[in-house]
């Protein structure tokens, strides 16, 4: 661990988005669900108090955007955690243990890649009802496979490196070696891959709506707003640009933070290079 400079602006922006997502729905005079038939498709002005305008049901876009942001952030966090815990552990175990364990673990990953996602989610909803936790399970289930494969490959390469051999000869247990020497060396690539998973799962969540899962209308999410906005991008580009811009901002900030984390974990680099 070293002292690479933190991406202050990105962290600040990320924090601002999170705070806004929590606070705006609270303090806004509008809610996310009541249509207002006299205020359809208002352009944003300060005078009408709708800073991002209203949607085609006359609902305040800012409030809806922030509600959507809440849901999508939760989805992103859940997917990242699954990817981090299951994916990294799975891949590191397979890569370090090798042999039979590796074969079993990685063939399982092959199987999970190939199992069709749509019936899987449908069966989940049927078995457990419509439940927000399920949303995270479904998304988590698909988001860790790539991580596992990447981590396994890296671990396999690391295993042969001199310092690991030295540690092994020095009498360290496998678990210790993985924790002290393997995982820190994986952090960089994992951090970067995680940040790439975030936009993907936020968009997958919108698709889950078609399977009876996901945010129930009138509640919404960034992914659903983008998908809906895309359908009317000719007539109301604002409905697409607002959520798309917010998602792009989130992704850029997360990636800057991911890069910074990578730099901090990089055992060889001396901070700012």
Partner 1 sequence: MIPAVRMLCSALVVSALALSGCSHSSAPAALNVVEAPGPNVAEGHLRRQIDQAPRTLDPGLSVEVPAQRVIDDLFEGLVRLDPAGQLIPALASRWEISADQLQWTFHLRPDARWSDDSPITAHDVVFGWRRVVDPATASQAAQMLAPVRNALQIAGGKLPPDQLGVQALDAHTLVVHLVAPTGWFAYQLTNNSLFPVPEHVVRQHGAGWVKPGVMVSNGAFVLKEARINGAIQLVRNTRYRDAAAVKLQRVTYYPVGDRAAAVSRYLAGDVDVTDGFPIEDIELLSQQLGSQLKLAPYLGTFMFGLNQTRPPFNSAALRMALTLAVDRDVLTSKLLHGLYLPAYTLVPAYGGYEPPLPEWVKWTAEQRHARARQLYAQAGYSAANPLQVELSYPTSGPDTRRVLEALAAMWQVNLGAEVRLANEEWRVHQQNRRLSVHALFFNAWIGDYPDPQTFLDLYRVGSPQNHGKYSNANYERLIALGSNTGDAQQRTQAWQQAESQLNADAAFIPVYYYQSRHLIRPWVQGWQGNITDRHPSRDLWLSTQVSQ
Partner 2 sequence: MLSFIGKRLLVAIPTLLVIITLAFALLHAAPGGPFDSDKVLVPEIRAAIEARYHLDEPVPMQYLRYLGGVVRGDFGPSFQYQDSSVNDLIAQGLPIDLAIGLLAMGLALLIGVPLGVVAALRRNTVWDRAASAIALLGISVPTYVTAPLLVLLFAVSLRWLPAGDWGEGALRNLVLPVVALSLPYVAYIARLLRASLLDVLHTPWVRTARAKGMPWRTVLLRHALRPALLPLVAFLGPATVGVITGSIAIETVFGLPGIGRFFVDGAFNRDYTVVMGVTILYGVLIVLANLLADVVQALLDPRMRP
Q: At what angle do helices 88-97 and 183-208 cross, to 10 degrees?
A: 140
What is the Cα–Cα distance from 142 to 252, expressed in whole angstroms? 23
Q: What does the per-residue mask of binding to partner 1 show for 122-161, with x meaning CB under 8 A?
A: x--xx---x-------------------------------
Q: Kindly tell me the sign of the dihedral angle through the C-alpha atoms of 205, 206, 207, 211.
A: positive
Among 2, 9, 113, 115, interactor with partner 1 by CB under 8 A: 9
The nearer residue to partner 2, 28 or 125, going by C-beta atoms, is: 125
82 in contact with partner 2 (CB under 8 A): no
Residue 35: contacted member of partner 1, partner 2, none (CB under 5 to 8 Å, by partner type): partner 1
What is the Cα–Cα distance from 144 to 80, expressed in whole angstroms? 8
65 in contact with partner 1 (CB under 8 A): no
86 in contact with partner 2 (CB under 8 A): no
Q: 259 exposed, middle or buried (CB, 10 Å; 0-12, 13-18, 19+)? A: middle
What is the Cα–Cα distance from 246 to 18, expressed in whole angstroms? 11
**End-to-end CA, the chain:** 14
6 in contact with partner 2 (CB under 8 A): no
Residues 259, 254, 179: CA angle, nearest 5 degrees = 55
Q: 57 exposed, middle or buried (CB, 10 Å; 0-12, 13-18, 19+)? A: middle
Among 11, 89, 97, 106, interactor with partner 2 by CB under 8 A: 106
- In the complex, the residues that contact partner 1 under the rule CB under 8 A are 7, 9-10, 12-13, 33-35, 37, 40, 56-57, 122, 125-126, 130, 209-212, 216-218, 227-228, 230-237, 240-241, 244-245, 248-249, 252-253, 256
Site of interaction with partner 2 (CB under 8 A): 103, 106-107, 109-111, 113-116, 118-120, 122-123, 126, 145-146, 149-150, 152-154, 156-157, 159-161, 185, 188-189, 191-193, 195-196, 199-200, 203, 210, 226-227, 229-230, 233-234, 240, 244, 247-248, 250-252, 255, 259, 262, 266, 268-269, 272-273
């Amino acid at each position: 661990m070293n002292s690479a400079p933190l991406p202050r602006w990105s962290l600040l922006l990320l924090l601002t988005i999170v705070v806004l997502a929590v606070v705006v729905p609270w303090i806004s005079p509008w809610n996310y669900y009541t249509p207002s038939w006299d205020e359809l498709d208002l352009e944003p002005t300060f005078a009408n108090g709708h800073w991002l305008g209203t949607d085609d049901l006359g609902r305040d876009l800012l409030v809806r955007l922030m509600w959507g942001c809440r849901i999508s952030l939760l989805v992103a966090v859940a997917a990242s955690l699954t990817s981090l815990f299951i994916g990294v552990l799975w891949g590191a175990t397979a890569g370090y243990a090798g042999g039979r364990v590796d074969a079993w673990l990685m063939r399982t990953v092959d199987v999970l890649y190939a199992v069709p996602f749509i019936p899987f989610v449908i069966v989940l909803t049927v078995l457990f009802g419509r439940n927000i936790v399920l949303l995270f399970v479904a998304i988590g289930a698909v988001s860790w496979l790539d991580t596992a494969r990447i981590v396994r490959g890296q671990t396999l390469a690391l295993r042969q490196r001199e310092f690991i051999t030295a540690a092994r000869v020095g009498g360290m247990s496998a678990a210790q070696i993985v924790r002290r020497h393997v995982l820190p060396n994986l952090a960089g690539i994992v951090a970067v891959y995680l940040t790439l998973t975030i936009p993907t799962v936020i968009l997958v969540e919108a698709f889950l709506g078609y399977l009876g899962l996901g945010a129930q209308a009138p509640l919404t999410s960034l992914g659903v707003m983008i998908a809906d906005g895309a359908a009317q991008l000719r007539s109301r580009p604002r409905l697409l640009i607002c959520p798309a811009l917010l998602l792009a901002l989130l992704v850029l900030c997360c990636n800057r933070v991911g890069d910074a984390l990578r730099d901090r974990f990089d055992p060889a680099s001396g901070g700012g290079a």
